[in-house]
Amino acid sequence: MNIFSENIVFGCGGRFQLWSKIPEKFRSDVVLLVSERLKNSGKLSDFLPIDSLEIIAVPSMEPTISMVEKVREKIGSREISALIAIGGGSVIDCGKMAAIYLEQSNKIHSMREYFEGKYQLQPRERIFFAALPTTAGTGAEVTNNAVIIDDVTAVKKSLRDDSMIADLALIDPELTYDCLQKIVAASGLDSLTQAIECAISRKTTCETRRMASEAFLKVLANLESAYSGDKEAKNIMAYATTLGGVAFRIGGLGAAHGLAHPIGSLRHIAHGEACGILLEHILRINIEAVDKLAGELGFASGNELIEKIVALRNKLGVSDNFRKYDIKQEDFAFIAKNCRSGSMSCNPVAMRDEDIYELLTKIC
């Protein structure tokens, strides 16, 4: 299956085509959503007519209800024609929700009500939404979901709707070249986790298993070099992440993602780091499914495959536990209650609350 199309464009230097790929009728009032770092980098003017755009910088953290509300406040009642999100998965997720919110502002009265599931979304038609990733990690540019945190309760949800699919996902690996090393590590581990969880998910199909397996092998082989700054490895990471993203949009994820959400929101742990810590443990719980996949991919056993992941994680300086985050036993109930997402239900082995408590006791 060729994942690239009119809507998903991949290639070094692709950012220079961005403006021409936005249909003319959507170029009248364009808003750019970026991280503070990118806004101040001076790079946007290389490929965008920034003087004619409004640029909104958002904090480099997972989007919260109030962050999306602030984007809406800044734009006010204006009817913008396009929203372009350039950044890591958090900026892109914030953009996905803002685009829907702005377009349907007469129907969606508050982001909180949307978060609480009070609205049935209409397809997005009026605002063109483009996503350009600057990290190789979440695959957010090609997925139909966005992760958002309730600032008040710390509950993190993955909201899913096809109107969140970008009209244009433009993946230019060169945009990832100056990504901070610790973000290369965390986002790469997210990509790795997404790929292998999709490959063994209960919902995976032959096609998504094949795509996710290819993505997994590419990330496993290239993440360490990408972390060391190798540009060719970064190109492959960008490709593999997109491939994995297209796969898991259909094939689903697993318990590492299910648990990473409440653990991450509880202590503000980067999503990729939380996934990286959890992955080994979740794969050991799913050893039967991992053994089968390992055989298909040419590993001697599931354990050998897991050991390769552990060696990579160690080289990236990511721990195998959450002890430094001071998660207490009284937090376990919050985690067990808020991990029951679609990802959790795709995990090969059904995890009961007591299984989750046992795992948390071991790793917290």
Least distance (Å) between residue 257 CB and Fe ion: 6
Least distance (Å) between residue 4 CB and Fe ion: 21
- Which one, 3 or 55, has the nearer CB to Fe ion? 3
Can residue 62 be called a binding residue for Fe ion (CB under 5 A)?
no
Binding residues among 188-217 for Fe ion as defined by CB under 5 A: 190, 194
Least distance (Å) between residue 190 CB and Fe ion: 4
Least distance (Å) between residue 74 CB and Fe ion: 28
Structure tokens that stand for 140 in this block: 């957010």
Is 81 buried (19+), middle (13-18) or exposed (0-12) by CB count in 10 A? middle
Contact present, 115 and 62 (Cβ < 8 Å): no
CA angle 336, 341, 347 (to 5 degrees): 90
- Which one, 187 or 222, has the nearer CB to Fe ion? 187
Phi, psi of 103 (to 5 degrees): -70, -35
Applying CB under 5 A, which part among 168-176, 184-192, 220-228, 232-240 lies near Fe ion? Answer: 184-192
Structure tokens that stand for 336 in this block: 């067990």
Residue whose C-alpha is closest to residue 64's, from 154, 137, 2, 131 = 154
Amino acid in position 105: S
Least distance (Å) between residue 228 CB and Fe ion: 23
Can residue 273 be called a binding residue for Fe ion (CB under 5 A)?
no
Least distance (Å) between residue 185 CB and Fe ion: 14
Applying CB under 5 A, which part among 27-35, 185-193, 201-209, 311-319 lies near Fe ion? Answer: 185-193
Contact present, 101 and 68 (Cβ < 8 Å): yes
Applying CB under 5 A, which part among 71-79, 187-195, 220-228, 301-309 lies near Fe ion? Answer: 187-195
Residue nearest Fe ion by beta-carbon distance: 190
Can residue 172 be called a binding residue for Fe ion (CB under 5 A)?
no
Which residues contact Fe ion (rule: CB under 5 A)? 190, 194
